[in-house]
Amino acid sequence: MCRRGTTRTSAEAYYQNKLKLALIGQSLFGQEVYTNLRKQGHKVVGVFTVPDKDGKADPLAVVAEKEGTPVFKFPRWRVKGKPIPEVVEAYKAVGAELNVMPFCSQFIPMNVIGFPKHGSIIYHPSVLPRHRGASAINWTLIEGDKKAGFSIFWADDGLDTGPILLQKECPVEPNDTVDTLYNRFLFPEGIKAMVEAVQLIADGKAPKIPQSEEGASYEGIQKKSNAKVNMAQPAEVIHNWIRGHDKVPGAWVVIDGKPVTLYSSSMLSGSLPAGQPIEVEGASHPGLIAKSGLILFGSDGKALQVKNLQFEDRKMIPASKYFSSDEAASLDLTDDEKKMAEEIRAIWKGILSNVPVIDDTTDFFKSGAASMDVVRLVEEVKQKCGGVQLQNEDVYMATSFQSFIQMFVRRLRGEDQEEELVIDYVTKDVNNMTVKMPYQCFINGNFEDAEDGKTYSTVNPTDGSVICKVSYASVADVDRAVSAAKEAFDNGPWGKMNPRDRGRLLYRLADLMEEHQEELATIETIDSGAVYTLALKTHVGMSIQTFRYFAGWCDKIQVCVCVAQRYPSISVCAIVIPWNYPLMMLAWKSAACLAAGNTLVLKPAQVTPLTALKFAELTVKAGIPNGVINIVPGSGGLVGQRMSDHPDIRKLGFTGSTPIGKQIMKSCAVSNLKKVSLELGGKSPLIIFSDCDMDKAVRMGMSSVYFNKGENCIAAGRLFVEESIHDEYIRRVVEEIKKMKTGDPLDRSTDHGPQNHKAHLDKLVEYCELGVKEGATLVYGGRQVDRQGFFMEPTVFTDVEDHMFIAKEESFGPVMVVSKFKDGDVDGVLSRANNTEFGLASGVFTRDINKAMYVSERLEAGTVFVNTYNKTDVAAPFGGFKQSGFGKDLGEEALHEYLRTKAVMVEY
């Protein structure tokens, strides 16, 4: 839309070198190309895509129809090799100047390809002339190419031999799959390149570079019968064959005399794990079923591992569960059990009256069952089948008839003890207990190494020692986690579950956290440096309270009948948490996310991953379905960025610094305009008036700064003390600091533990040095404690002027920054307190209730503490103003961050 006053000349300039386009293709890729071309000012005069499938239009058709673009859905363009006249005439009528073919699966006649003024361009997922043909990405991997990429070329008659317009390349990582290559490079960069190519044509700058025949190759689409693995090859060749056939048609091998399809292959790094031998046809060495999957050996003696197996009946299992799955599948029923199975079949038939035959593969929910039917099924089985005690969630966890019968029989026999989760713990004897810590990525209900095998060290800040090596997640791991979360949301039991049952699982999770609270607090202490007593009460204690609070909300999310207003879940959410309260920040965000019915992928802070991974273990014990919660430790620049960019993530919640928050918000907007909530930096003012309760103001003022070693988002970043009490206040604060015990955070008498990590400690020392250089008075502290570990002295600065760096910027450490203000100058100190770009929290101490209310109303912050500090409650919304972010954690408002409002207006 032109602004009022825009001249005709400028409007013409905007639209010059724009084309009338016909888009011929399909899929989300085609949709994104369409949308971006329209944004660039090109006119799409017609969209030619595939017919609806099962009543559902292709994504390209959906967006085009919504915007009023003519859409044509021809089943075919040719019959017996000849163009269909009416189809060609319908195409020609739109008057396109260029055909753009972003993802085209149909054969287009040459009299359509060559009809427009500028001809046709098409996207191909290989660096032509290599890998001509429809399976180009697959063959890039099968052939072990070190580079992948795509070409945009001038279309020919389907042989992929036309002149090249534009090409782009990317490296192939050792464990890339078709999905990771597509998501990381071929999809996002391909969309940009298609738009770039069209503009080059519009500007008359598009090249036509003839394809060389040197290096040209053509490989056909693989069939299942041709996809069998030749085991008499080096391990890397076998790995390439498996990953190149991933998804379709699937590479297969004969294991224990049965054809089994192999998915998710990676080269094995590190030492060979222990496992149970298994016969693999054609291999020189038996395979191994290990905790990490199926280990296969190449002819060169090197190994690879496969994570998932699929049998001929299409049932897929984790490879690590091969023997246990086989045992379950071969469960023999007694005659009485067979009779009960038939009675249960009759119950299913009575409920699913629309299904002609209840066979082993019949899925309860895909056949149309709802939550009321779950109750009916459970109660009928209890009544007619020997009083076997079932719960509603049992149905959600065994949705096919066969799996339901197996679950029922095992329950009947008393053999339904939960299989122990396979975890390769790191154990430590510490704090008078043995703590067991998972250290791998948690994806789809399993702990597993990062796909590329990379790890990093997490360090105990008390002494600088390495606690353990933790999996360092890659982009591929994030993609797998998102895929698991999306599958769990779209097809798993979580979204179908009655909200009250979902709440019951969250209550159970809170109970398990309470059972393990000492272990969680110990892990939190050694990983983050939190004083143990604080970790027990706040880090862990408030996490438990948060899950219980939101568990209670599950069945209370409103549906307003008067206008049919509903609050549906968002889908897959990403959560990125900081290092200062690792478990509590996880709880604040994930509890609301889960209560709202979403699934999640969570990245803990790189330096404090261990309580998040222990939490993951407890979610399995609580019965949270696979894929609902996924945890991927690693770097923000890699894992966090991929979450921001991922097209299947629809909401991202972040707590951290303002600069990173801005970058995340930008990436989320560019990727898919995902919903964002941000809790960012702070410089919270605390105003202490002369009429305060001095004892309380000293005690709470110190807590406002030194609580959790100052690593506290709402810490008072600057204290304003009324002039008449200033000197006495500082004197008393210093007296109290001298009584504080700095030392081992596991010692119950310790007041002040180590900073979280060395880089942060170094920044705090620099912060204090800068404060001295600027002219502030260093009253106490300001240095690293002379002892092992990352300890910082509690610090006090006075005479801090408004222009100084330490008056404006957050230290995020135990540094009290004090400025005095004139007696009685309420409005003046308010102006100074609000003169900041941050607005997370604030505080005021006074006995005058009128003054307290006047000040609290005018302080520009999301939270105001009056005669207290750090007092948060799970029912009270928490979040900032200005550059401290937006959106709320805790309270009812937090739920709305993880819900969408939909108004359905109904007329009868």
Q: Give the sign of the dihedral formed by CA 152, CA 155, CA 160, CA 162.
A: negative
**Was 151 annotated as part of a binding site?**
no
**577 known ligand binder:** yes
Instruction: State how beta strands 20-24 and 43-48 pair.
Output: parallel
- Would you say 523 is a known binding-site residue? no
Q: Specify the 3-state DSSP secondary structure of 388.
A: coil
Q: Are strands 441-443 and 43-48 parallel, antiparallel or unpaired?
A: unpaired
For the record, the structure tokens of 809 come out as: 């910027």
641 is in an annotated binding site: yes
Catalytic residue among 32, 97, 118, 124: 124
Q: Classify 397 as helix, strand or coil.
A: helix
- Residue 560 falls in the annotated catalytic set: no
Residue 579 in marked binding region: yes
Backbone angles phi, psi at 56, to 5 degrees: -115, 125
Confirm or deny that 445 is annotated as ligand binding: no
224 marked as binding residue: no
**CA–CA separation, 609 and 593 (whole Å):** 20
Task: Give every CB contact of residue 821 below 8 A, 6+ residues apart in sequence.
Answer: 687, 720, 721, 722, 723, 828, 829, 832
Size of the chain in residues: 908
Report whether 605 belongs to an annotated binding site. Answer: yes
160 is in an annotated binding site: yes
Q: What are phi and psi of 841, to 5 degrees?
A: -145, 175
Q: Is 878 annotated as a binding residue?
A: no
**Quick one: tokens of 285?**
């060495």
> How distant is the alpha carbon of residue 225 from its chain centre?
37
Q: Which residues pair with 53 in a beta bridge?
A: 56
Whether residue 139 is annotated as binding a ligand: the answer is no
Q: How far from chain centre, in Å, is Cα 392?
A: 28
Q: Is the dihedral of CA 846, 849, 855, 859 positive or negative?
A: positive
Catalytically annotated residue among 713, 726, 860, 897 = 713
373 among annotated binding-site residues: no
Catalytic: 124? Answer: yes
66 marked as part of a ligand binding site: no
Q: Has 679 been annotated as catalytic?
A: yes
State whether the Cα torsion 89-91-94-98 is positive or negative.
negative
Nearest to 363 by CA among 320, 315, 323: 315
CA nearest to 439, candidates 449, 454, 452, 451: 449
Distances (CA, A) of 19 to 44, 70, 207, 492: 8, 16, 17, 45
The answer to whether 811 is annotated as binding is yes
- What is the 3-state composition of the chain as percent helix, strand, coil, each rounded to the nearest 5? 40, 20, 40
281 assigned to a ligand binding site: no
Question: Active-site residue among 448, 679, 793, 860?
Answer: 679
Instruction: Judge whether 553 is annotated as a binding position.
Output: no
Which strand (E) or helix (H) includes residue 644? helix 641-645
Q: Where are the beta strands (DSSP E) in 50-119?
A: 71-72, 78-79, 82-83, 98-101
**Is 367 annotated as belonging to a binding site?**
no
Helix (H, G, I), strand (E, B) or coil at 88: helix
| Residue 637, annotated as binding a ligand | yes
Alpha carbon separation from 38 to 8, 30, 70, 411 (Å, rounded): 21, 12, 14, 59
Distances (CA, A) of 848 to 688, 692, 789, 854: 12, 8, 44, 10
d(CA 279, CA 259): 12
578 is in an annotated binding site: yes
Binding residues for (6R)-10-formyltetrahydrofolate: 106-108, 160
Active-site residues: which are they? 124, 679, 713
Instruction: Give the residue numbers of the binding site for NADP(+).
Output: 577-579, 603-606, 636-641, 656-657, 763, 810-812
Residues flagged as binding site? 106-108, 160, 577-579, 603-606, 636-641, 656-657, 763, 810-812
